[in-house]
């Protein structure tokens, strides 16, 4: 979990890799209608599991991913590469596989085995591209509920997620309150607010301004590397924090020569390195679609029954916030906890002062992992 780029100081980094094997596939051959129109004639979800499902099938935890993660949250014999939550899942760890059966799926709309924009459109045989329907977090969660049906899991011990995963954790508990025993939402919120919507809008604009984006139909040709690179650099600024970068990079430059207009300061080289790595792993259209789904998320919006979806929540909740988070400022987790408490929902609130900003949920094993472990194993 360290950065090893020459002349850039090392630091803890998330373990994100392109995953092309080692997962299982759930297939649905039924048409899947999306909330904002359009449908998929069929879809697939890539998923991975750890631990053993109990005879009573009551020990399952559904782990939801953030925007760019795959189903590969932890290593296993079919894929020994470390996963993005490697040190949080396993015997005796936060998600204790001696006690729980952990399921993690790649998102609908993703590019790591699940149906998304790079997948073949059955009607044409070519990748969907931007013919893929607009997705919502609700659409993603409905697909996950179908996966749970396939696995024979009627009720989850817990729904757990951070960032976009925290949004999903809330959404599934609201949409299927009878199927979720408790939820964990880390560095997420009740809804997307203008600041984060604006940031993601600029990221999408940068990507779509690349001529190689070709209106989303770049498959088989040059992909929009330059635009996606800028988009990810913007994103990385919101994932980490000023306090960490002050200590790690300061104003240090990458060389002793005259100033340059490209990667001159160490922090600039860090942003470029992280973006270059991401562009080689993640599909640009998936980035657009999943980022838009985050913008559309709103549990306070009136639903089909003319009441906010949050009103349907019933289970206890652990809400975790990080004081240095720029993307989901800590006031949003405080608001979430307060809104749930006003609806009579038991809430445990944990606020962490860490230098790593939004990415703290991927790095701080002691406090994030420790808090999650205690909560999951507590008897209500």
CA–CA separation, 153 vs 22, rounded Å? 22
Distance, CA of 140 to CA of 293 (rounded, Å): 9
Structure tokens at 50: 């750890």
Residue 325 makes CB contacts below 8 A (sequence gap 6+) with 187, 241, 357, 358, 360
Tell me which of 105, 159, 358, 359 is the catalytic residue. 358
Catalytic annotation present for 163: yes
User: Could you confirm whether 358 is annotated as catalytic?
Assistant: yes
Contacts of 4 (CB under 8 A, 6+ apart): 10
Given 96, 283, 298, 325, the catalytic residue? 325
Burial degree of 85 (CB within 10 A; 0-12, 13-18, 19+):
buried
DSSP 365: I
Kindly list the distances between the CA atom of residue 347 and the CA atoms of 27, 334, 365, 369, 380, in Å, as whole numbers in the listed order.
36, 11, 22, 18, 12
CA distances from 212 to 198, 216, 219, 248 (A): 23, 9, 10, 35
Query: Is 325 tagged catalytic?
Result: yes
Catalytic residue among 68, 119, 163, 286: 163
Q: Which residues are catalytic?
A: 163, 325, 358
């Amino acid at each position: 979990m360290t950065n090893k780029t020459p002349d850039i100081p090392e630091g803890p980094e998330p373990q994100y890799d392109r995953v092309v094997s080692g997962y299982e596939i759930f297939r649905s051959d039924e048409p899947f209608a999306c909330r904002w129109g359009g449908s998929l004639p069929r879809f697939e979800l890539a998923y991975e599991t750890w631990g053993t499902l109990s005879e009573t099938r009551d020990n399952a935890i559904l782990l939801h991913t953030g925007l760019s993660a795959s189903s590969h949250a932890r290593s296993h014999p079919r894929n020994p590469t470390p996963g993005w939550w490697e040190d949080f899942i396993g015997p005796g760890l936060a998600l204790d596989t001696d006690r729980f059966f952990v399921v993690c799926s790649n998102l609908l709309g993703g590019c790591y085995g699940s149906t998304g924009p790079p997948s073949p459109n059955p009607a044409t045989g070519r990748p969907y591209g931007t013919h893929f329907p607009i997705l919502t977090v609700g659409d993603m969660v409905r697909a996950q509920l179908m996966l749970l049906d396939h696995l024979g899991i009627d009720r989850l011990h817990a729904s757990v997620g951070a960032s976009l995963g925290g949004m999903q954790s809330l959404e599934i508990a609201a949409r299927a309150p009878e199927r979720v025993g408790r939820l964990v939402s880390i560095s997420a919120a009740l809804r997307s607010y203008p600041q984060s919507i604006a940031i993601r809008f600029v990221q999408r604009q940068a990507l779509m301004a690349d001529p190689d984006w070709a209106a989303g139909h770049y498959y088989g040709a040059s992909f929009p590397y330059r635009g996606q690179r800028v988009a990810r650099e913007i994103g990385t600024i919101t994932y980490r924090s000023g306090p960490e970068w002050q200590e790690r990079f300061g104003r240090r430059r990458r060389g002793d020569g005259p100033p340059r207009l490209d990667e001159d300061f160490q922090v600039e080289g860090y942003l470029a390195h992280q973006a270059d790595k991401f562009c080689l792993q993640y599909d640009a259209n998936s980035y657009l679609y999943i980022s838009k789904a985050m913008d559309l998320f709103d549990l306070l919006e009136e639903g089909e029954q003319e009441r906010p979806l949050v009103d349907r929540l019933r289970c206890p909740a652990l809400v975790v916030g990080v004081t240095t988070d720029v993307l989901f400022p800590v006031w949003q987790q405080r608001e979430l906890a307060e809104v749930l408490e006003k609806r009579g929902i038991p809430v445990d609130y944990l606020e962490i002062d860490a230098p790593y900003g939004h990415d703290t949920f991927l790095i701080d094993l002691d406090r994030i992992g420790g808090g999650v472990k205690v909560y999951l194993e507590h008897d209500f």
